[in-house]
Structure 1
Amino acid sequence: MTHHTLFVCTLCRFSGTNQPQPESHGAGLSGGEQLFNQITAAVNECDWRERIQIQPVRCMGVCSRSCVVAFVAAEKLTFIFSGLSPQQSIPELMQFGRQYTHHPTGNVPYGERPAAMKRGLVAVLPPVPPG
């Protein structure tokens, strides 16, 4: 089974489109930290949790479009997404995560991707060659 990693930038600050709600949990945390906590909890409850590791990173260089994540696996495409809301993007991240981990090349067809993944796409990188 292919090992997958979901990198989550924990330094991401809230941008204009993903401001925290007044009742949101994690007051005092950055948007990236909140997203990391939310997606970690969601993945721990899903049936494909053995296929993916959630990894915090300190910066992914898309600071003007936070929050940012990347789905990565050996011999698969890498997807980088931005503009994600810790409060609203979890269901769509979970849907894409399931699709990505189950697709042999990671190339989830555009029409099947959740809306947040379509509008938040930053880059699709080719697989790293073996060896």
Structure 2
Amino acid sequence: MTDLAPFPAAAPPATTLSVCVTCRQRVNAAPGYVEPGRPLLAALEQRLADSGIVVRGVQCFAVCNRPCTIALQAPGKWNQIIGDLTLAGDVDAIVDAALIYARTPDGIIPWAQTPMAFRRGGVARLPPPPA
């Protein structure tokens, strides 16, 4: 018996999950800020290590009032930008959505499969650049 391939026929173009590592957040009334993207990036790198999805940290999405923000991108697909994500509550949702996104033909995650964190945190959905 052979193992099933993770994608039908030929593998689709690589999916990239980018995580803003410069988002800053105040914690209660404490002085200074924390950067929630760095631990989120580390958790996602670990969870998606064998998935074929490229996970990378990026400097800034300019959505500073929505920490932490991520983007899902792949050639020929719509780009998804999602904010207000946390290490404590959203890692599973991000992993699930990234795996679904990678398998879509166009980058549009079906609404019924869209995690609540993505529904409430949607920043933008950008079309792929013209060919």
Q: How far apart, CA to CA, are the structure 1 residues paired with 2:67 and 2:19?
A: 10
SS at match of 1:89: helix
Match for 1:34: what amino acid?
P
**How big is the shift at 1:111?**
2.5
Matched residue, 1:34: 39
Match for 1:12: what amino acid?
C
Equivalence map 1:62-101=2 (5 Å):
62-101=63-102
Q: Aligned pair 1:12/2:23, yes or no?
A: yes
| Unpaired segments ≥5 residues, structure 2 | 1-11
**Change over 3 Å in CA distance of 1:15–1:104 after alignment to 2:** farther
- Asked if 2 retains the 8 angstrom alpha-carbon contact of 1:15 and 1:65, the reply is no
| Unpaired segments ≥5 residues, structure 1 | 20-27
Aligned residues: 116
Divergent runs of 4+, >6 A: none
Q: TM-score, normalised by structure 2?
A: 0.82
Name the % identity: 29
Matched residue, 1:106: 107
Q: How far apart, CA to CA, are the structure 1 residues paired with 2:44 and 2:91?
A: 6
SS at match of 2:87: coil
SS at match of 2:48: helix
Q: CA RMSD in A?
A: 1.8
**How big is the shift at 1:15?**
5.7
Deviations 1:46-77 (A, max 9, x none): 5xx12x10111111101111000000011000
**How big is the shift at 1:29?**
6.2
Bigger relative contact order (CA 8 A; separation at least 6)? 1
**How big is the shift at 1:110?**
1.9
SS at match of 2:43: helix
